[in-house]
Homo-oligomer: A and B are copies of this chain.
């Protein structure tokens, strides 16, 4: 564990909620991730949760209540940060750009390309680090996410089927080329609208890719950002491509962690079942 520094460790249900820091080669900076470790010596399945805009590795572990179910289902849950961090890392005063808004892509524009390589970080560097240092069954890895992180889980999951065997999302940004959340960031990270944008757009990816397992997506019907998510367009693409998908729409539910905490149990059980 030479590269891993323990930042936090707290007993929670029948396990420990930890936060580690490490130097990331992909992002050329120190990065943090959270890991919930159920109390067992057995090799366990692992589930990645990609957070939404402005989050750090903290929001999910403080607000979702997931530890109760991770403890019960005996599944390790990893929560990466949403971008590179630190004084040496480029940032922006614009909303939804820079630190806290990595969009799980590899930037190719001058200002950003050195540090903003969250796609490589999530799909290569972090799983390798986790699998080397913790008691993970590497055949049983799943990925889920929320909003920007829901987009990330669909993108990273569909393009890395050998790593991630199950995918789910809460209120994901399904069309990152159209969404007001991602438009500016994509322009800055990848240049004016071009083919690169399709590499990180769930709608474009699922036109050409599918995964064997069903995908679970939960959507609140009182979601204040629903018009920027494009879920219906994504469903059309999945139907066309015979991608199995389970969409659940929830009356009154909004976009944030009160929505996530209500349904996180179902997501963990969903992944556990597919990974078993």
Please give the residue numbers on chain A whose beta carbons come within 8 Å of chain B beta carbons, in ascending order. 10-13, 16-17, 62-63, 65, 67-68, 220, 222, 250-254, 256-259, 261-262
Contacts and interface: CB of A to CB of B under 8 A. Distances in A.
Contact of A62 (B13, B16, B222, B257): B257
Given A17-B258, A258-B10, A65 B68 contact: yes
A12 B67 contact: no
A63 B17 CA distance: 13
Q: How many copies of this chain sit in the oligomeric assembly?
A: 2
Contact of A12 (B62, B68, B251, B261): B261
A220 B148 CA distance: 37
B262 A65 contact: no
Contact of A10 (B16, B62, B254): B254
Contacts of A67: 258, 261
A262 B63 contact: no
A63 B261 CA distance: 10
A262 B222 contact: no
B65 A252 contact: no
A11 B65 contact: no
19 contacts: A10-B254, A11-B220, A11-B251, A11-B254, A11-B259, A11-B262, A12-B258, A12-B261, A13-B261, A13-B262, A16-B252, A17-B258, A62-B62, A62-B257, A65-B68, A65-B261, A67-B258, A67-B261, A68-B261
Contacts of A16: 252
A273 to B, nearest CB: 21
Nearest to A257: B62
A10 B223 CA distance: 10
Given A11-B253, A11-B262, A63-B63, 5 more contacts: A10-B259, A11-B254, A11-B259, A12-B258, A62-B257
Nearest to A62: B63
A261 to B, nearest CB: 7
Given A17-B258, A258-B17, A261-B67, A252 B11 contact: yes
Contacts of A262: 11-13
A76 B224 CA distance: 26
Nearest to A71: B262
B256 A10 contact: yes
10 cross-chain pairs, A with B, having the tightest CB-CB distances, nearest first: A65-B65, A12-B258, A11-B252, A10-B258, A11-B253, A62-B63, A10-B254, A13-B262, A17-B258, A12-B262
